[in-house]
A and B are shown apart, each in its own frame.
Chain A
């Protein structure tokens, strides 16, 4: 199924077309189109495994791996896969890489594998991955898809880390397992409970929405009486 001739290889890594290094495809995932904080996708792992920063990183990296690999493969096979069976093949490809990631994590650290549990396998149904395969990789060059996958994956890891650090610091008094506060600190147990996951994500979204709203205000001078009445928060 791989490339057969050097001519095709060149086609895959098609730098010209004016997209150069495709840095934009990389950067957009980090912030402007961040899968979690902006698109609000892939909520299950975001909430379920972020009770510590270590888990968040492990989950983020596993997703990054699957995302990049499936993006690259889907985009390099985009001319071979018939339209009618594309979703089925994407799911097949994604499930393969998730299985690979599952075994590799298990080989690296049983502890991490136990902490993440079934949620590694559940990367398969993470909407971000199928979403990027369908919306981006199936229509773009391998290089661009690689950058897109990297950007989205790192953006996802970043968002998970935001949640993981807050929840671990407040809920357990530690960061990456190391004590963060003096002993007198009383942990907010609620933060590592499921409810805390919802709250932390809600607060981060509020924070970013607030920043966006403020930015908008600065740009357009405030016109409270105009149609943006709802946009100006009290």
Chain B
């Protein structure tokens, strides 16, 4: 290496010089960060909205637009499409603005780490119409089949989530059964070699549907308007 030590003696500086350098660089850095943030923010927001929309339309076949609603404890209120989270549901409308289904985010513990997924729910027939993994770190080649295995995904084309007579909870909780043992429409047929991940999906869906399905059933009119 041909490094030439250029460190000048002026570097042994007093506190004013230190202060000046730190503050100067601090201000320059702050400007750079804020400028980038402001420039990229609209693009990022648009990208995120697009990605979410794609996922929603994927789990709600036939949907053309979506409206976000938040459960405030008493009723569903319409909110800006930029807000999302655990207490938000996405109502999918078809071309004639008719409610065709509701997409809900749900999450829980998988085999490796938390799984985040989005599922579509049909409030008329009271069944799940599809789901998509938003985020997971399941073992590649085994656990991550929950998002790829066609036979497994077929479980969710019309997964029974009917409410009981009092409309307080599901008539039959959603359960994952061993591969090939599915006999009822509310059962999920697990993937061989990825039983724990499959079970996790069942549990996550069950928890979420048990909570949302009665609410949606009771307040369906608020969502339809």
Contacts and interface: CB of A to CB of B under 8 A. Distances in A.
SS class, residues of chain A in contact with chain B: helix
B167 to A, nearest CB: 38
A118 interface: no
Contacts of B83: none
A106 B44 contact: yes
B21 A107 contact: no
A209 interface: no
| Interface size range on A against B | 35 or more
A192 interface: yes
SS class, residues of chain B in contact with chain A: helix
B40 A88 contact: no
Interface stretch (A56-64, A135-143, A198-206): A135-143
| Interface size range on B against A | 35 or more
A84 B51 CA distance: 47
Nearest to B3: A139
Given A19-B2, A83-B12, A189-B142, A114 B18 contact: no
Contacts of A95: 29
Given A99-B33, A107-B40, A89 B13 contact: no
Given A1-B25, A139-B7, A84 B43 contact: no
Contacts of A110: 44, 47-48, 51
Interface in A65-119: 77-85, 88-89, 92-93, 95-97, 99-100, 103-104, 106-107, 110, 114
Contacts of B44: 103, 106-107, 110
B140 A192 contact: yes
Interface of A: 1, 17, 19, 24, 28, 51, 77-85, 88-89, 92-93, 95-97, 99-100, 103-104, 106-107, 110, 114, 136, 138-141, 171-172, 187, 189, 192-193
